[in-house]
Chains A and B, each alone.
Chain A
């Protein structure tokens, strides 16, 4: 089946494969425009309206309710939960920790992911494919298994500390389990492939001949890196950073396993309010705040990046 499909595609003249061809021919517009697209997307719209918009709206309403230990959830509509979170230093600490971890993870991913993408692009073809598989493969492995690996390295076997002490880098073991350091390392591992992917995509647009031109005109390798390569991959680094930051700020499984019950972040806080304390309204409030922060960051940063680097995207 696949082979015949390929040959069919190959028969099409190159001009027809033009991306602009997806715009419908004007002649067919008047009759077909009216109902077909709405009918085709109706099942999806209905599904998303009922199963996405309604639950999210209900979560917002839930966050306005109040909760008492004996009375349960009361149907009142007030912003008390929001006021509680915005004025209580315990919640400040949790949110601050969440964003601090996300920021450090983002910086680390950029520092290691961007050079790695550049190195990958300069590799020769059999090695490049293999290495790309190793770098991107972890994305498909369950995050629980990957985090379990870090828990084993940090805790039970203590291999990381043994290694660092054998190398003479540290004198006493570092505490990784249940600390921010441990969460940051494990999250960087989970999210760095996204940064490599994003920078890799922006490198695809970079013509290697431009680098050679700069070299032949007498620029040193450092100058080429600073003046030619870096400006062109900065949009890739920035959009990778948006993805990594958003995913790190709302990460759940990794902080829950490495951070444990003691080191709470926003996601694990919401989980505990829901499934242990059973204070659903407060948990819903944390979720709404997390969602708002996420949307503001993603949409805001995307706008900023697109405006600043308009010329690169064109």
Chain B
């Protein structure tokens, strides 16, 4: 295969530097020993990581984020699997429209969804509740899960199912013992992608979160709006470390490129 010239490699290094710079600086500032924002030139210190422990609101927001991500991705999967099977296997009236409906949250800016949910939830009495957060997150992450499950169920061979059915398996047994194991890789990666999208969401959540139930990114965002100190850098650094760890695992198991191709597209 062709090689890149020296000019291309210089460009490449500058590009990677541009992508990594803000992430690295957050991690560097988090290790400062000073009481203000600075690079750790006078030795590394973990004081700001310890300071996170003195701010229980960050810990609580982190737990809420994890629970919210897990609940909403699981619900999204429960809705998306039957819908994906219907769209992938059947030709029926309104199929295109139904698929477009399920993918439509990708086209709606999250700021608009935030406003719409704030209005809707205050009217039906779900304003500021955890249930409201879960329901709204299910809507925005379902398209990501659906697309991966759809890809898995279009690619699978139906002859195996027919064989099971002809051997006397009921529809449910057929689904549980044959179909589900075959589409499981798609379902699992759909869950992971849905979880990540729920965990990172800030624009919509900032409208519907309340001080009692809020997510970590929203907590961080509101904190940064008031002031930026090494504490937020430390919290961000922890988030970055966790994400990188999850990413390496994900890349090994599934392939990051495969997971992300099409992210953010309609």
Contact = CB atoms under 8 A, between A and B. Distances in A.
Interface of A: 1-2, 4-5, 8-9, 12, 16-17, 19, 21-25, 29, 32-33, 36-38, 40-41, 43-45, 47-48, 51-52, 54-56, 58-59, 62, 112, 115-116, 119-120, 122-124, 129, 131-153, 155-157, 159, 186, 189, 192-194, 197-198, 200-201, 208, 211-212, 239, 243, 246-247, 249-250, 252-253, 256-257, 267, 270-271, 274-275, 280, 283-284, 287-288, 290-291, 294-295, 298, 302
23 contacts: A5-B182, A5-B184, A8-B181, A8-B182, A9-B157, A12-B157, A17-B157, A22-B155, A43-B83, A44-B142, A47-B138, A48-B101, A51-B138, A132-B256, A137-B256, A141-B244, A148-B232, A152-B22, A152-B233, A198-B265, A252-B203, A253-B221, A291-B108
Contacts of B29: 152, 157
Nearest to A28: B162
Contact of B2 (A33, A122, A131, A270): A122
A34 B185 CA distance: 29
B4 A145 contact: no
A145 B239 CA distance: 8
B158 interface: yes
Contact of A9 (B92, B182, B233): B182
Contacts of A141: 23, 200, 239-240, 243-244
Interface residues of B, number: 106
B20 interface: yes
Nearest to A57: B116
6 tightest CB-CB pairs across the interface, nearest first?
A149-B22, A250-B109, A55-B116, A40-B86, A55-B120, A37-B86
B115 A283 contact: yes
Contacts of B239: 141-142, 145
Nearest to A146: B22
Nearest to A192: B19
Contacts of A133: 247, 251, 256
Contact of B263 (A197, A211, A287): A197
The CB with the most chain A CB atoms within 10 A, among B21, B80, B115, B136, is that of B115
B176 interface: no
A56 B224 contact: no
B44 interface: no
Interface in B1-35: 1-4, 8-9, 11-12, 15-16, 18-26, 29
Contacts of A32: 90
A136 B154 contact: no
A156 B34 CA distance: 13
A256 B116 CA distance: 20
B236 A138 contact: no
B206 A144 contact: no
Contacts of B139: 47-48, 51-52
A270 to B, nearest CB: 6
A291 B38 CA distance: 41
A287 B159 contact: no
B23 A122 contact: no
B217 interface: yes
Contact of B264 (A22, A212, A247): A247
Nearest to A56: B116
Given A131-B16, A294-B109, A8 B82 contact: no
B102 A5 contact: no
Nearest to A52: B139
Given A59-B119, A144-B217, A148-B26, 17 more contacts: A22-B88, A22-B154, A25-B158, A43-B83, A122-B3, A134-B16, A140-B196, A140-B246, A141-B200, A143-B202, A145-B239, A157-B37, A256-B221, A257-B221, A267-B109, A271-B111, A294-B109
B185 to A, nearest CB: 7
A12 B162 CA distance: 14
B138 to A, nearest CB: 7
A306 to B, nearest CB: 12
Given A51-B136, A157-B29, A29 B109 contact: no
Interface string B100-133: 0110110111111101111110010000000000
A99 to B, nearest CB: 14
B98 interface: yes
B71 interface: no
A40 B82 contact: yes
Nearest to A191: B264
B240 A189 contact: no
A43 B49 CA distance: 44
Interface centre among A16, A17, A41, A186 (most CB of B within 10 A): A41
Nearest to A20: B154
Contact of A290 (B11, B111, B202): B111
A36 B12 contact: no
Nearest to B102: A44
Contacts of A19: 154-155
Contacts of A274: 115, 118, 207
Most buried by A among B8, B95, B264: B264
Contact of A1 (B105, B181, B264): B181
B152 to A, nearest CB: 10
